Every structure is written in structure tokens, then in C-alpha cells.
């Protein structure tokens, strides 16, 4: 089941996306998208986290579409907020 959450931001969208792409690819993940929407996959110790995002009105809406069973949604959300918030 998909899990969505919002991350408000106060910077230019291209800066946020650039940082996200660099962080995810630096972790051997994949990132494809622009300042409107995209998809990502991030390897974790217990499996891969996959999702998509959309940006509107300085809010990044993240939807996790696949995750390891043992990784709680709150842990994934907290990690993404630390990287992107």
C-alpha cells in the first residue's frame, strides 16, 4: 500500500531536486525527474525503497510505492525529511 507525505520547502525547486538527485545517486540509488515530478529508488540495508514525487506551491509530495516490510513508514519519512527538509 502506498504511503504519502508532504515536505514544505523555502528554496528554489531546482536546488531541492539537485540535492535529492545527488544524495540518492550517492547512495547508489536511481533518480529521474524534474522540478515538477519524478521517480526514485534508494537501496537500504533491508531492501530498496521506491517512490515518486510531485512539486506544487513549494511543497514536495512524496509517495512511497515499495518498501521493505520491516521498515516502518515513519522511519522512511524521517530519513527523507532529514535529507530534503
More confident residue, 54 or 42: 54
Q: Residue 54 — very low, low, confident or very high, per pLDDT cuts 50/70/90? A: very high
- In the chain, the domains with their CATH numbers are 3-84 (3.30.310.80)
Q: Is the dihedral of CA 7, 8, 11, 14 positive or negative?
A: positive
The confidence score (pLDDT) of residue 61 equals: 97
- Residues 9, 84: contact at Cβ < 8 Å? yes
User: What local confidence, expressed as pLDDT, does residue 85 receive?
Assistant: 62
pLDDT tens track for 20-53:
999 899 999 999 999 999 999 998 888 899 999 9
Amino acid at each position: 500500500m502506498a504511503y504519502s507525505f508532504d515536505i514544505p520547502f523555502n528554496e528554489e525547486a531546482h536546488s531541492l531536486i539537485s540535492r535529492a538527485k545527488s544524495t540518492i545517486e550517492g547512495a547508489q540509488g536511481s533518480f529521474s525527474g524534474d522540478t515538477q515530478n519524478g521517480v526514485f529508488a534508494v537501496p537500504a540495508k533491508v531492501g530498496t525503497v521506491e517512490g515518486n514525487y510531485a512539486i506544487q506551491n513549494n511543497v514536495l509530495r512524496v509517495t512511497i510505492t515499495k518498501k521493505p516490510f520491516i521498515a516502518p513508514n515513519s522511519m522512511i519519512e524521517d530519513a527523507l525529511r532529514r535529507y530534503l527538509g
